[in-house]
Amino acid sequence: MRQTKNKLGNGLVILFLMILWTACSAPEETELAVEEKVIPVRGMQISPVSMEQRKTFTGTLEGEKQAVIRAKIAEAVNCIDVIEGDEVRANEVIIRLDKTGPSSNYLQSKSVFQNAEKNFKKMRYLFGEGAISESQFDGARTEYEVARANYEAARQLVELRTPIDGTVTSIDISVGDYVSPGQQVATVATINMLRMKLGVGSTDIGYFSVGDSVRILAESVSGFEAVGAVAMVAGSADPKTRTFQVVIEIDNSTRFFKPGMFARAEVIVERFDNIMVVPRPAVLTRNNKDYLFVIKDGRAVASEVVLGEEFDGLAEIRSGLNVGDTVVTLGQDYLSNGSLIKLTELTYTAGEETKH
């Protein structure tokens, strides 16, 4: 009986100690259980902005005035008098072909001209002295003029000239090359003003009006752009391509752009004023609904939004957001409604940045 009482007493002591231990440790465990995780995020404060919807067209730049020089006979290239970038004047010789070659006929026509010139000078003197008749003098003069015309024609075949003032933008042959009739040998263009011809489909031609401003960007080099203006819009489509030709004139006073460059033309399709935009990745889609996390009192509050237009990585918010709200733009994937956050960096719609 005594042993039973002892065992009962010992059991009561153990039970009391367990209750006491549980009572002492419970608050600590409770504290650990309710400790919240703080999630660092970046945010953007919303303000109204104006945005433009643009459409891009591509084409090749050329001089406002441009001349492609072509060979007229089959002959070897004897000399190139210019290099790319040289300024030239109209009628200046830029390339010389072999004058002694079989196709040129230059030396023969020159010899005939020189003889005709000597004879004409002699006959003019004799006519002035009354030694020959007027018809004899007229015959010598005609012979001289024909010989001179033939010589000039033969010289133009071997001395290739530019028909316009401008800059040599390309040399397409080398000394010693044998050119063929019609082969392009050089290009001369004015480069202070350039033009760009576009072939525009019927669905897009309404975006262009004469005088409209156009943004021009080099396809091969980023960061360089110029401003152009629509100079001509065709009233009817080309029957072969079914496109409308649009000509854009470009101020190239910086001379960065060169004829022959491939470029992009951006035109304004529509303008939107006083709208709210956020980076597109900031918008989350859950259960077929779009959400943003808005920062309120140090917490992330999920707000359902309605999206509008998109502008190169930005999305218009038509409802669900107010001017002055701060939305989470980085870290939103780790948030749930009511998450405790720490704002590490704040940007503004206009691009100003503040770090916290």
**Do 103 and 239 fall within a single domain?**
no
Which CATH number is 45's domain given?
A: 2.40.420.20
Provide the edge-to-edge strand list for the sheet that holds 178-179: 159-161, 93-97, 75-80, 178-179
Give the CA-trace dihedral at 172, 178, 181, 187, to 10 degrees. 20
> Would residue 20 count as lying in a domain?
no
Start-to-end Cα distance in the chain: 75
CA atoms within 13 A on the CB side of 98: 14
Residue 211 and residue 242 in one domain: yes
Is 79 in the same domain as 177? yes
Pair 90, 153 in one domain? yes
222, 253, 271 - which closes a domain: 271
Range of the domain at 282: 39-51+273-355
For residue 113, tell me if it sits in a domain. Answer: yes
Cβ contacts of 312 within 8 Å, gap of 6 or more: none
Q: What is the CATH number of the domain that holds 231?
A: 2.40.30.170
Is 201 found in the same domain as 60?
Answer: yes
Residue 15 maps to a domain: no
- We report the CATH number of the domain holding residue 107 as 2.40.50.100
289 belongs to a structural domain = yes
The residue from 221, 255, 271 where one domain ends is: 271
Residues 262 and 330 in one domain: no
> DSSP strand E in 46-175: where?
49-63, 66-70, 75-80, 87-88, 93-97, 159-161, 166-171
* Residue 8: inside a domain: no
pLDDT on residue 18: 54
Domain boundary among the residues 187, 204, 236 is at 187
Considering only CA atoms, which of 235, 165, 150, 160 is closest in space to residue 200?
A: 235
Whether residue 7 lies inside any domain: the answer is no
Name the one residue in this structure whose structure tokens are 């200046």. 92
Structure tokens at 116: 């005709």
Residues 60 and 203 in one domain: yes
Q: Could you list the pLDDT tens digit for every one of the 356 residues in the chain? A: 444 445 445 554 444 445 444 545 444 444 444 678 999 999 999 999 999 888 999 999 988 888 999 999 999 999 999 999 899 999 999 999 999 988 888 999 999 999 999 999 999 999 898 899 999 999 999 999 999 999 999 999 999 999 999 999 899 999 999 999 999 999 999 888 899 999 999 999 999 999 999 999 987 766 678 889 999 999 999 999 999 999 999 988 888 888 888 999 999 888 899 999 999 999 999 889 999 999 999 999 999 999 999 988 899 999 999 999 999 999 999 999 999 999 999 998 744 434 33
Quick one: 177 and 71 in the same domain?
yes
Q: Checking phi first, is residue 242 left (phi over 0); if not, alpha (psi -120 to 50) or beta?
A: left
What was the pLDDT predicted at 44? 94
- Residues written for the chain: 356
Residue 232 and residue 320 share a domain: no
On whether residue 19 sits in a domain, the answer given is no
Whether 290 and 148 map to the same domain: the answer is no
